[in-house]
């Protein structure tokens, strides 16, 4: 008697496209948001060195945003 073997067909991989890496615009926007939050949070604590650092961070974020074309 002949043995019947099941046929296994290789299925093609699912059409899954990996997500796009963040764009420079998106990265700059996230950094702007974080810098603004840091700037907003420093004065109520009376932390003026953190306020100055937040201003510097905000300036860097604005510069990055402008350079990325955003």
CB atoms within 10 A of CB 35: 20
Between vectors from CA 14 to CA 9 and to CA 17, what angle results, nearest 5°? 155
pLDDT tens sequence for the chain (70 residues): 677 776 766 776 677 776 677 777 788 888 889 999 999 998 898 989 999 999 999 999 888 888 876 5
Those residues with Cβ within 8 angstroms of residue 14's Cβ, 6 or more apart along the chain or in another chain: none
Q: Quick one: pLDDT at residue 13?
A: 66
Q: Quick one: pLDDT at residue 66?
A: 84
Give the global pTM.
Answer: 0.59
């Amino acid at each position: 008697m002949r043995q019947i073997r099941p046929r296994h067909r290789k299925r093609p991989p699912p059409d899954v496209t990996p997500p796009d890496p963040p764009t420079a615009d998106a990265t700059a926007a996230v950094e702007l948001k974080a810098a603004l939050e840091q700037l907003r949070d420093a004065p109520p604590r009376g932390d003026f060195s953190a306020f100055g650092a937040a201003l510097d961070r905000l300036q860097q974020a604005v510069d990055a945003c402008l350079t990325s074309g955003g």
